[in-house]
Amino acid sequence: MTTWGSRGDVEPLAGLAVAVRELGGEAVVCAPPDEEFVTLLDRVGVPMVPLGPTVHSIVANPKPPTGEDAFRLAPELVRARFETLTEAAEGCDALLATGLMPAGAPDVAEKLGLPYVFACFHLLGLPSRHVPPPMLRPGPPSPAGETDNRVLWRQDAERVNALYRPAVNEHRAAIGLAPVDNVRDYVFTEQPWLAADPVLCPSEGKTDLNVFQTGAWTLPDDRPLQPELEEFLGAGEPPVYVGFGSMAAHAPKDAARVAIEAVRTRGRRVVLASGWAGLTAIDELDDCFVVGDVNQQALFPRVAAVVHHGGAGTTFAATRAGVPQVVVPRIADQPLWAARVAELGIGAAHLDPSPTAESLSAALAEVLTPETRARAKAVAAEVRIDGATVAAKRLLDLAA
């Protein structure tokens, strides 16, 4: 199994690898060598092979990555996949890839004669006659007057080719494979796997591809909360959790101050996740507790609301916990999750990526109601928690 991306790309693979192991199989994960990911996979006993540069070195900069950065990173990742996966997949029975466009992974599978699966955690970026491309890829934009979605998706494929095809075909030629014309479609295959919950991410009619939806891949977490956090939780009413995960360069401006002040105006305490942005308390008051890596499965059911960036994993964790959410999306699929949370009535979407204390307080007022909590609990009962097992069974069948 391989990925390159944030915690939200790596942890689901850890969950799938554990599910495969529980069914009698074995799995190795090739992932970026960030210390956080190394620790995560080691904690659950899943072998890891480092692949490519650390994600932190790319995203944790004062400025977000540029298009020029993408054109430098793309061939580097292609080379890393050809080199790393070719060795790591020797003796394996299947290869599954996800994360940032895993160009190079299906090529290695082809060379080794292995079944190949592309998996994704949302529908953003999958071709669809119903909606235009999200226009997130670097490269020339489509003409302003073009409205034919089929044309727009062909142009999306051209942008992917510009990023990846020269490196892909150079490495394919080196191992005796014919060139690939459409890198995006070759990577995606005709039946990608969708590792997202059907309640949160209904797929029917959303893409032209024949997706196999497994449900979200969750890594079971039985770690206890630290004693100091337990003491804080027990010292008053349920606090509000605020965290923006590994979105270091994309965290809202003055995120800690804005969040703490907003929560305080609602008369609540705060559990603040430092994350890759390194958020810290803004004063010495005892109504704020800062955490690092924490068991969300244990913590979220005990908070009043979850304020987060809208990553797929955090959205599912909060939904599964039956707790109201305020989603402050910044990039990629995050606005989609924010919109779905609002549509389901289990939280609010704060679509302005730069909230003020006043605007975030208003969003919290909207969700800190008995009605929203009741709706969140009702939806929690509908989501499925066996996604990793469903995928593991299918993967082992494919490997056999």
Average of per-residue pLDDT across 205-215: 94
- Residue 56 predicted with pLDDT over 60: yes
The tens digit of pLDDT for each residue in 347-360 reads 999 998 889 999 99
- The mean predicted confidence, pLDDT, of the chain is 94
Which class in CATH covers the domain with range 227-380?
alpha beta
Of the listed ranges 138-147, 263-272, 309-318, 323-332, the one predicted with least confidence: 138-147
- On the question of a common fold for 7-217+386-399 and 227-380, the answer reads yes
Q: What is the CATH number of domain 7-217+386-399?
A: 3.40.50.2000
pLDDT of residue 87: 96
pLDDT of residue 67: 80
* CA dihedral sign of residues 9, 11, 12, 13: positive
Q: Which residues of 229-247 are buried (b: 16+ CB within 10 A; e: fewer)?
A: beebbeeeeebbbbbbbbb
Q: Are 197 and 216 in contact (CB under 8 A)?
A: yes
What predicted TM-score, i.e. pTM, was given to this entire model? 0.94
- Residue 82 predicted with pLDDT over 60: yes
Q: Where are the domains of the chain?
A: 7-217+386-399, 227-380
Question: Residue 140 carries which side chain, given as an amino acid letter?
Answer: P
Instruction: Determine the 3-state secondary structure of 177 from DSSP.
Output: coil
- Residue 62 predicted with pLDDT over 90: no
The tens digit of pLDDT for each residue in 371-398 reads 999 999 999 999 999 999 999 999 999 9
Higher per-residue pLDDT: 31 or 59: 31
Question: Residues, the chain, total?
Answer: 400
Percent share of the chain, pLDDT over 70? 96
Q: Which residues of 30-60 are buried (b: 16+ CB within 10 A; e: fewer)?
A: bbbbbebbbebbeeeebebbebbbbbbebbb
Indicate the pLDDT class of residue 211, thresholds 50, 70 and 90.
very high
Tokens of 348: 């609010």
Indicate the pLDDT class of residue 20, thresholds 50, 70 and 90.
very high
Distances (CA, A) of 393 to 48, 93, 156, 206, 399: 21, 14, 33, 25, 10
- Residue 268 predicted with pLDDT over 70: yes
φ, ψ for residue 2, nearest 5 deg: -145, 150
Q: Are 324 and 367 in contact (CB under 8 A)?
A: yes
DSSP string, 337-353: HHHHHHHHTSEEE--SS
- Residue 250 predicted with pLDDT over 70: no
pLDDT of residue 276: 78
Percent share of the chain, pLDDT over 90? 84
The tens digit of pLDDT for each residue in 108-160 reads 999 999 999 999 999 999 999 999 998 778 888 888 889 999 999 999 999 99
